[in-house]
A = this chain, B = another copy of it.
């Protein structure tokens, strides 16, 4: 293992972030989120029914599905619809997205309705699950804003923003927001889902190369907090621009 020097940006810098709201106008909320070369379409669709296990319980639900276009990766992936099932990885990621969003939504205030999130990766260069969460929050908030504007909701059930980012140790150096080559070669990798106020909703750390210490974990979490704070600002700008557009 040789020491790694990231040349394109600082060790604690995010890739270039771009969030384009209203990317798919058929959905109730939608964005294209680009984190460097990772590009994900995130949409939110309001369904005035809840899943069977919640009927009559006086609360709503938020759930998510995740997919990748076959040509989103460097070598073409098999299409899951053709294979006839979603991979374990896909299911893991979509469960994570749903859990992360539900953690910031007051499901009782949402009322007996469901918001379905779809995250479809059109280009993958590392960090698709964290980009999905960051983008999905914006789509979710746009759908909620639509319900508020239509007086179908009286209060915003979203407690605070949530965003996600990775950090990892590559060649002995802790780095924020790994791209695919960095992620493939890292010693350890932590995905963090955090709130705007800097608290942890979900943390998943894996020793890809060598087991890591509590100190290393601490350092990666601090990088993550810095990254999430910046992502939350991008989210707010996208929501402000979406609100401005819808008022016209």
A residues in contact (CB < 8 Å) with B:
24-27, 30, 41, 43, 45, 47, 65, 67, 69-74, 76, 79-86, 88-92, 94-95, 99, 103, 116, 118, 120, 122-124, 190, 194-195, 197, 199-207, 210-214, 217-218, 221-222, 225
Contact = CB atoms under 8 A, between A and B. Distances in A.
Contacts of A74: 26
Given A70-B118, A214-B221, 19 more contacts: A26-B72, A47-B76, A65-B82, A69-B118, A81-B83, A82-B86, A88-B92, A103-B211, A122-B122, A190-B203, A195-B211, A200-B212, A200-B213, A200-B217, A201-B207, A203-B205, A204-B204, A217-B221, A218-B218
Contacts of A80: 81
6 contacts: A24-B71, A41-B122, A67-B81, A202-B206, A204-B205, A214-B218
B195 A200 contact: no
B79 A65 contact: yes
Contact of A203 (B116, B210, B217): B217
Given A85-B85, A201-B211, A76 B27 contact: yes
Given A24-B123, A88-B91, A212-B199, A103 B69 contact: no
Contacts of A65: 70, 79, 82
A84 B82 CA distance: 8
Contact of A88 (B45, B71, B95): B95
Contacts of A212: 199-200
Nearest to A160: B211
A86 B24 CA distance: 23
Given A30-B71, A207-B200, A214-B218, A85 B84 contact: yes
